[in-house]
Structure 1
Amino acid sequence: MFLLPLAFSWDTFDRYALPKLLVARVLIAGLVVLWLARLAITRSVVVRRTALDLPLLAFVLSAALSTVFAYNPNVAIFGTYSRYDGLLTLGSYAALFWLAVQTLATPSDARGMVRTLLAGGYAVSAIAILQSITDSLRLGELTPAFGTMGQKNALGALLAMLLPLACWELFAGRSRAGRLLALNAGALIGVALVLTFSRSAWVAGAAGLAIVLVAVQPSRRARFIAVGALAAIAVLGAAAASAAVQAQGVPLQRTDLLALGDRPAVWRDTLQLIASRPLLGYGPDNFGLVFGRFESVDLHQPWDKAHAEILQVAATQGLVGLGAYLWLIAAFVLAFWRGPRGPASYAMLGGWVAYQLVVQVNFTMLAAAFPFWAFTAASVVLMGATREGARANLPRGRLVLGASAIGAVAAVGVGVAGAALPYAADQRVLAAVIDDYAGHSDLALAPAQEARLLAPQESVYATEVGNLAFERQDWALAREAYAEAARLGTFNPGVYRNLALADINLGLTAEAEDAARHAFELDRFDPANRALLAQFGVVP
């Protein structure tokens, strides 16, 4: 759990999201092995039930149903490159939650997991603060912190979730050393949170802290001192970091903090997208493949997410998925309400609410989502929202041991393969990109083809092969690779433009026009797409 937010790779093209996904897969495989080992040792099957089991299962099943009828089934299963928000990842969230609940036997175990997540957040915060300072000095402008998370809102979601937990540890600490550790963790997390410049994370972190303050019972003076100390240290720390940057001549003004940007326009157009396929949606992670059809104003860049989680779920999984999602939210709140509602429960609620507030104006990012589901598992245990289901005693003998061993070997095999193959593929595509940038496109083609073989579901790898062939004017290979990238699913109009040009050079006029139409559908405001379509006598 400690490594989930820290996972990072220097030798893959996707340095941030992919390593975390692969660590999560290995972690899930390890939890399966632990569960099977306990089954073999105790000779019994005990399944802990939670209030979230049924709504979470319904949510995953709705995603599976949407996948069956998805606009692009490949994207619905695997997700788009660097997002990976397909059915497999949604299932991984559910698996991590369920297996973590089975592993956490007592509230003490759950609190240990919370502290592990806090330790990981502490390390991420330290890295993010250093990254923000060094990037600001290098670029000559104040740069948001993102650290190993790869994006400021992903870091903000994680830290906003963890800040109430650090505050709870501060109040619950029984020793001065424990309280100092909690204060240290909360302060560093607070500094990093300020430096994200993520407004949603600021609001979410404040809301989470407010929920914790409602719950704690010490005197008002103690509350004021503790929270005041956290806030003061966070602000002073951020100010010190900013002063260090300003001393090198970097301006501190950020003019974008009060701007809404293009989100309102995206939300408005997303409503039209939802209305076009309301029941089951377009399939997990398919938003970017279809949003261009509903884009009413020029947004100047591709938008592959609705930047509002409720709208994102409705667009990709329809009203069926939205109903399951709202059921899941209600189930957590109800589990809190029916529980003992002690300080620990309020802390869990504070962290959970903080995370939800961030994603409701952004979207689920796996860098923060995997820690969130581990945290949610610990939350339901600490809130007393688990119960032991039916116990099934297993017969003694070698059959149970053998079956458990086979299952464990299978889990390890799937986990290792699920991590090793994507990792090797991304290494190879990075090698191809490096060779291409160095002017050695002849050397770049082989590793790009290897990446494509190792991960045949990745549209980006097929696109890289197409790009290399396009540079060499190998129109047949370029057409084959771009066509495969289009089949696998992409929201990059450049793929369709280049496919159209390859078709033109091969004398395939009808196919070229079809590719040009697809490029125009993805971005009707791009002059390049409009000009290409006009070559076929079509007035955009």
Structure 2
Amino acid sequence: MVGIKKQLTREQNLNRWMLNILLLTVLIVPLAMSRPLLLLQDQFDLPKLLTLRLFLLSIVVLWSGKILITERVKFRWSRFDLALVGFLALALISSIFSIHFPTAIHGRYERYEGLLTLISYGLLYFFAVQVFSDFGRVSRLNKAIIISGGLVALYGLLQYFGLDPLPWTGVPFEERRSFATFGNPDLLAGFLVLVIPLSLAEFLRAGNKRDSLWIGFSLFLVFACLLTAFTRSAWIGAAGSLLAFMVLGGRAVFSDIRRLLAISLLFVSIFALLAVFSISSGHTVTNLFARIKSTTQITEGSAAQRLEIWKAGSQMISDNALLGSGPDTFRLASGNYETLEFVKMTQGMTVADNAHNYIIQLAATVGVPAVLLLMLFLAAAIFISIKSMRKTGAPERLVSAGLLSAIFGYLIYLLLGLSVVGSSSVFWILCGALVSATTTARNTAIDFQGARTASIKAAVAMLVLFSAISAYFALAMFRADYHYSRALFLSTAGDPNATIISYEKAIGLYKNGKYYDDYGAYLEKAGWEYGNYDLTSSSISILRDAVRFEPEEADHYIYLANTVLQSTSNPNAPELVYAEQVLNAAILKRANSIPARVILAQVMFNQNRYSDAVPILQFVLNMSPDHINGNLLMAQCLERLGNNQEALRFYRKLLSLQPEHREAKASIQRLQGEAD
């Protein structure tokens, strides 16, 4: 009897630890970033990935320990979980047959939504189903997310008002947009969409003044920060989630009219104050009224670009509907599907690394059958949860409505945005909590018996091994990015040997195209600075390694060809023939590439093949009329061909773009003098 009680106590303690770690996961993962403690180049997503996988490993070890202690496998599941298992199985098959296996496994740098992460999401869902079996635990989960959301939002608001204690330089978006611990306003806003309905549910059911105050204050911060992120897709998602909350909550939402009026007045006041304050920003993106108005302008700006990306993604799906190109390989596969209109809009300077529509993203990368299974799982979970919540009381109904609305709002956001670890990990835990607390999840127990014992232990060992390997890879990537960031710092400090060592360590720990390209660029630059041809030769070698490692990425070919081009001035040099071959290979990977064509025209110019260069430059200037090098090369080629009048036209266009361009000025004076 004592032994049984002791075993039950151990099992309860392990369950309690699993609950606490899941709560820590939703609390800490959204907050995780490397600054100011450690220098990383990816300061946001990689720390979140490592934190998530370490927590997941801890949960797996605890669950496995519970199985071995009790000699029994006890788990909760639902019938539609099989659809999720099918989705992950197809993602595995897609990875095996992907166009680039390393990317399919690890995901793209700064995104990391490869197979390991997809399976991690599945495990988070599974363990959430095991743990959040009652509304009391779900309420604790909600409050952990609310705390995390409040802290994230507070930091985002400090950024908006210019009070950020950490200096940030060169952010790739408009000033005065909150990005908090996510590094990007769009990604931040996606997380906040999850937090708002959970906060509203807990605020309306708060049983004491203290809870009302802190939850209400957090809701105030989150709503304000959602506005200062100026992310339209998240606004649409949040509006959808609030509407769903009102409908699903029913009478429970209106049971305390005073609270509802108070929060409504708070929302209106925040919106009015920020709308007035944002008028002074001087930019349409950070002007709240102008930004809302632009939501309907789907044929302009970033909305128009996304429509073109969706067209490319749809064609990718049509060509490889069964298994796709492999998880998170959208950028590698999309090069030949870019529309001419997209190239014109971006002037060839942007490559879509994500579809900005989760359904298109997944269908293009893991295949249509996998997406259908995932949609079936989500639809079944939502439908059965809505059906089950009718039988609950008012407090539980608010919790259920909050969960469902958060999931619904995030799914709307994903139709216009993208999935990242910081928010999607929380989403999948919420899905597990929804299924566990509001549906008829089944309890199953399997005892250790004979041959079954060995099979169970083997399955448990495989689960632990997978989690350990995933955590190891995340740690290796984390260390690699530290060395990469150090290499970038050392490259400006005049220490080539230390820089090279850091680059080599980074690539040794985590091979990815960005490290290779930057390493090659540094070696080329150092070769010129120190007059060391060996460094230039090493640059070419590194960029060849990049091509071999990631042969579907057109940029590697472009950087390689440009480095080869700069290494010789002899018009008959065989290096120029090689550069042309490399650039033609780049164009095969990205048919409408402007950078590849500009460098190809430069190669032909250096070979005195002016007539061959002109049609290539004509394509460039049709796509990007204001391209500086394109206009210069066109003018130079036409001048060499004796067409001085046309050459003058392009020199003048160049001068209108850059009034202080010396070569354009000198050429215009020379050609006009010759005409006189």
Q: What TM-score do the two structures reach when normalised by structure 1?
A: 0.89
Cα distance, 1:239 vs structure 2: 5.3
Q: 1:292 and 1:406, CA in 2 relative to 1: closer, same or farther beyond 3 A?
A: closer
SS of the residue corresponding to residue 328 of structure 1 reads helix
Question: What residue in structure 2 maps to residue 486 of structure 1?
Answer: 547
SS of the residue corresponding to residue 205 of structure 1 reads helix
Unaligned 5+ segments in structure 2 are 1-24, 528-534, 569-573, 605-611, 617-676
Matching of residues 405-420 of structure 1 within 5 Å: 414=469, 417-420=472-475
Cα distance, 1:110 vs structure 2: 2.8
Matching of residues 113-512 of structure 1 within 5 Å: 113-134=141-162, 143-216=176-249, 218=251, 225-237=258-270, 240=273, 253=287, 255=290, 257=292, 258=294, 259-260=297-298, 261=302, 262-296=305-339, 297=341, 298=343, 299-300=345-346, 301-341=350-390, 342=392, 343=397, 344-393=399-448, 414=469, 417-455=472-510, 457-473=511-527, 474-489=535-550, 493-503=554-564, 505=567, 507=574, 511-512=578-579
Q: Does 1:519 align with 2:586?
A: yes
Question: What residue in structure 2 maps to residue 63 of structure 1?
Answer: 91
Q: Does 1:7 align with 2:32?
A: yes
Give the distance between the partners of 2:162 and 2:145, measured in 1 at CA.
26
Q: Is 2:53–2:467's contact at 8 Å kept on the other side of the alignment?
A: no
Cα distance, 1:409 vs structure 2: 8.4
Q: 1:83 and 1:221, CA in 2 relative to 1: closer, same or farther beyond 3 A?
A: closer
Cα distance, 1:417 vs structure 2: 2.7
AA aligned opposite 1:531: V
Matched residues, percent identical? Answer: 24
Q: Does 1:19 align with 2:68?
A: no
Cα distance, 1:52 vs structure 2: 4.4
Which deviates further from its counterpart, 521-530 or 194-203?
521-530
Give the distance between the partners of 1:477 and 1:531, measured in 2 at CA.
24
Which deviates further from its counterpart, 357-366 or 201-210?
201-210
Q: 1:206 and 1:223, CA in 2 relative to 1: closer, same or farther beyond 3 A?
A: farther
Q: Is 1:66–1:280's contact at 8 Å kept on the other side of the alignment?
A: yes
- The number of equivalent residue pairs is 537
Instruction: Spell out, residue by residue over 1:88-125, the C-alpha distance to the aligned partner (whole angstroms, 9 max, x if none).
Output: 11111112211232333543223322221221111111
Cα distance, 1:245 vs structure 2: 7.5
Higher RCO, Cα 8 Å, sep 6+: 1
Give the distance between the partners of 2:105 and 2:558, measured in 1 at CA.
26
Highest CA radius of gyration, 1 or 2? Answer: 2
Q: Is 1:520–1:533's contact at 8 Å kept on the other side of the alignment?
A: no
Unaligned 5+ segments in structure 1 are none
Q: What TM-score do the two structures reach when normalised by structure 2?
A: 0.72
AA aligned opposite 1:339: S
AA aligned opposite 1:318: G
Give the distance between the partners of 1:93 and 1:265, measured in 2 at CA.
30
Give the distance between the partners of 1:268 and 1:73, measured in 2 at CA.
25
SS of the residue corresponding to residue 143 of structure 2 reads helix
Give the distance between the partners of 1:411 and 1:79, measured in 2 at CA.
16
Instruction: Spell out, residue by residue over 1:31-59, the C-alpha distance to the aligned partner (whole angstroms, 9 max, x if none).
Output: 01220232233332112113442121111
Cα distance, 1:524 vs structure 2: 4.9
Question: What residue in structure 1 maps to residue 139 of structure 2?
Answer: 111
Cα distance, 1:194 vs structure 2: 1.4
Cα distance, 1:514 vs structure 2: 4.0
Cα distance, 1:126 vs structure 2: 0.9
SS of the residue corresponding to residue 428 of structure 1 reads helix
Q: 1:214 and 1:470, CA in 2 relative to 1: closer, same or farther beyond 3 A?
A: same
Which deviates further from its counterpart, 303-312 or 488-497?
488-497
Q: 1:211 and 1:246, CA in 2 relative to 1: closer, same or farther beyond 3 A?
A: closer
SS of the residue corresponding to residue 388 of structure 1 reads strand
AA aligned opposite 2:485: L
Cα distance, 1:323 vs structure 2: 1.7
Q: 1:18 and 1:518, CA in 2 relative to 1: closer, same or farther beyond 3 A?
A: farther
Q: Is 2:517–2:559's contact at 8 Å kept on the other side of the alignment?
A: no
